[in-house]
Amino acid sequence: MWQELLKQFKTGDIKTLARCISLVENEQPGYELLLQNISASGAKIIGITGPPGAGKSTLTDALIGFMIHEGKKVAVVCVDPSSPFNHGAVLGDRIRMSEWYTHPDVFIRSLATRGSMGGLHPKIIEITDLLKAFGFDHIIIETVGVGQSEVEISGLADVTVVVMVPEAGDEVQTMKAGLMEIADIFVVNKSDRPDADLFVKNLRLMLAPAFRTHYNEVPVIKTIATEKETVKELYGSISHELQKAHTADKKFVLLAEKAYWLIQAKRMKDVNREQLKKEIEQLSLQNNFNLYKFISQF
């Protein structure tokens, strides 16, 4: 099966790409052999993260427009919260990007986190490699917005954009260093709202050299996602960051990080959540059930 998929994949058939992603996502037989026989291109990955309601999807919609105008092929992976019952994507409709679904140079796929604590899909590395091999110029990964644990996106993206809104003023005061560390670009969206300028000022103070010398290089850009002209500066800043050559050391660090997660996933392959649930249900009938004794057997 995978051999036929690979053959059609190399012809550039978009339906086959979707089938290949499903094959990998569901770990169907042959998915590992498929991955071993593809060659990833040099497509750039743009990570867009931030709290729910910040306007990430609307910003992504506007960015797609600029990329298409330049003749680029764009893939968008929307990682949504998943239902705790069926592990499907809760926000899978993606109404805000509906105008691009039928565009020949745009591919949009919604994925569920499936319980992944980092805000990403457990097969996100493999799926992005499939998209790279398919020949896209840019790959946008929009994450679920679960907060501090989203630092995981920085290990995957060439450029990480953190989107915030003016109402998040108190959050900036208590923001942990991890989220500050991952941002290549900060976006204050919905900047037509009251106190937007004050919010930007406070954010820039936090990014001042007094805190960390790296931070004075991180741009803070004001946008109104529904007004696409305001997104033009953001797109220019993203393009500028993508042109910066990553050091060889960072490249190998990222590859080692990918290898770590892939090895971890492989070793966890035999641990089945449904089976765990059944065993816990049975053992919980006993009065002396202890979760920590239960997991010590693995």
Query: What SS3 class is residue 94?
Result: coil
Contact of 139 with 46, CB cutoff 8 Å: yes
203 or 136, which is more confident? 136
Tell me the domains of the chain and their CATH numbers: 1-38 (no CATH), 40-244 (3.40.50.300), 251-290 (no CATH)
**pLDDT of 201 above 80:** yes
User: DSSP secondary-structure letter at 68?
Assistant: H
The predicted structure's pLDDT at residue 145: 60
Q: Which pLDDT value is given to residue 43?
A: 87
Q: How many whole angstroms separate alpha carbon 257 and alpha carbon 254?
A: 5
Say how many CA atoms lie within 13 Å of 111 toward its Cβ.
28
Q: Is the pLDDT of residue 13 over 80?
A: yes
- pLDDT of amino acid 86: 41
**What is the C-alpha separation between 167 and 152, in angstroms, rounded?**
25
Question: Which residue has better confidence, 154 or 39?
Answer: 39
pLDDT at 117: 43
Q: What tokens appear for 279 in the block? A: 């065993």
C-alpha of 227 from chain center: 24
Alpha-carbon dihedral 197, 163, 248, 267, rounded to 10 degrees: 150
Kindly report the backbone phi and psi dihedral angles of residue 71, in degrees, each rounded to the nearest multiple of 5, phi listed first. 80, 25
Residue 159 near residue 238, CB atoms below 8 Å: yes
Give the pLDDT confidence score for residue 144 in this predicted structure: 65
Distance CA(80)–CA(206), nearest Å, equals: 29
The model's confidence at residue 27, banded by pLDDT at 50, 70 and 90, is confident
Q: Are the C-beta atoms of residues 112 and 89 closer than 8 Å to each other?
A: yes
17 has a pLDDT exceeding 90: yes
Question: How far is the C-alpha of 273 from the C-alpha of 224, rounded, in Å?
Answer: 42
H helices of the chain, in order, are: 2-9, 14-25, 31-36, 56-69, 124-134, 169-174, 177-182, 196-206, 232-243, 248-267, 273-284, 291-295
- CA 187/CA 231 separation, integer angstroms: 10
pLDDT per residue as tens digits for the range 128-177: 999 999 999 999 998 866 544 455 666 778 888 988 888 765 555 555 55
pLDDT the model gives residue 18: 94
This prediction has a pTM of: 0.79
Give per-residue pLDDT as tens, 67-106. Answer: 999 999 999 998 865 444 444 444 444 555 667 878 999 9
208-252: pLDDT as tens digits: 754 554 444 788 999 998 887 889 999 999 999 888 755 545 567
State residue 21's pLDDT score: 94
| Three-state secondary structure call for residue 139 | strand
- Distance CA(200)–CA(185), nearest Å, equals 13
Residues 6+ apart with CB under 8 A from 261: 125
Report the interhelical angle of 2-9 vs 14-25 (nearest 10°).
Answer: 140
Cβ atoms of 267 and 240 within 8 Å: the answer is no
**Least confident stretch, 36-50, 71-85, 193-207:** 71-85
Contact call for residues 215 and 205 (beta carbons, < 8 A): no
Sheet strands (E) in 36-112: 44-49, 74-80, 106-112
**Mean pLDDT of all residues belonging to the chain:** 80
Number of residues assigned to the chain: 298
